Amino acid sequence: MVAMVDGDIISKDHKKAEKAIKQTRNAVVKRLCINAKIDYPYAWWQGSEAADKIEFVDKFLGTLISVISGSKVRAHDHELEFIRYRVPQIVAIFGPKPTDMTADDIDSQGNWHFGEGDHEKISLLGSTLPVPSDIRSKDQPTKQEVIAMADAQLSLDNCPGCNGDIPFGSIILITEFAHLFPANCCDNMIWFNQDAETDLEGLE
Ligand SMILES: [Zn+2]
């Protein structure tokens, strides 16, 4: 099984065709993630958008050919196509997803730390979050932009998740129609419909 990324040939062979395909797909994703400077997403082929991801990756793959073990790879036999892609496209498909976010990953400045490294963070202010359907009315968008932040200690008496004190530095993220309290005390993402919340003291 061979694939081509940016004109470079990736070749994997295995006794079992399905393994060869899987190894080649993984190698393509690894290469694309290096180019896009994002971490290789472990088990990228699982989850809700898996079929779309596999379909995208398979564009880079040539036709499967059975060969005698150890024989030379002849790339042109595999009918490879030169696939053009853009880095933002790779980040959107394989990059960190806000749905993976947990309260522990959100700091008091409203940054989401999606990885271990210092640079692996995104400011949530201005980014768009999927809002759970149970706190949205039907006419409100499924994804909403974070337009402001508030100090959670000034806004809430107790954590609605664990009933404990609101930890120092906790924030509330405010979208047009909803509020999100990332509760560091119990690592819960607690959403409110905006009507349920009052007296939010803006941080900025
Ligand atoms: Zn709590």
Tokens of 11: 């070749």
Distance from residue 188's CA to the centre of ligand 1 (Å): 7
Say yes or no: 184 and 104 in one domain: yes
Number of domains in the chain: 2
Over residues 12-28, the mean pLDDT reads 93
Residue 202 domain-assigned (yes or no): no
Say yes or no: 117 and 189 in one domain: yes
Residue 173: strand pairing partners: 149, 180
Residue 50 belongs to domain spanning: 2-94
- Whether 202 has a pLDDT exceeding 70, the answer reads no
Domain end position, chosen among 94, 110, 133: 94
Instruction: Between 60 and 93, name the one with better pLDDT.
Output: 60
Residue 203 domain-assigned (yes or no): no
Say yes or no: 142 and 162 in one domain: yes
Q: What is the ipTM metric for this complex?
A: 0.99
pLDDT for 125-184, tens place per residue?
988 888 999 999 889 999 899 999 999 999 999 999 999 999 999 999 999 999 999 999
Say yes or no: 76 and 29 in one domain: yes
Helix (H) / strand (E) element for 155: namely helix 152-155
Distance from residue 162's CA to the centre of ligand 1 (Å): 4
Say yes or no: 61 and 134 in one domain: no
- Write down the residue that tokens 């924030």 correspond to: 171
Say yes or no: 109 and 133 in one domain: yes
Say yes or no: 62 and 113 in one domain: no
Give the per-residue pLDDT at 204.
41
Are residues 2 and 16 in contact, defined by beta-carbon separation less than 8 angstroms?
no
Distance CA 95, CA 41 (A): 7
Give the per-residue pLDDT at 55.
95
Distance from residue 114's CA to the centre of ligand 1 (Å): 21
Distance from residue 117's CA to the centre of ligand 1 (Å): 26
Distance from residue 41's CA to the centre of ligand 1 (Å): 29
Residue 204 domain-assigned (yes or no): no
Res. 41 pLDDT band, cuts 50 70 90:
confident
Say yes or no: 88 and 103 in one domain: no
Give the per-residue pLDDT at 76.
78
Residue 89: strand pairing partners: none
Distance from residue 61's CA to the centre of ligand 1 (Å): 47
Say yes or no: 89 and 106 in one domain: no
Give the per-residue pLDDT at 200.
54
Q: Do the bridges between strand 171-175 and strand 128-130 make them parallel or antiparallel, or are there none, so unpaired?
A: unpaired
Distance from residue 163's CA to the centre of ligand 1 (Å): 6
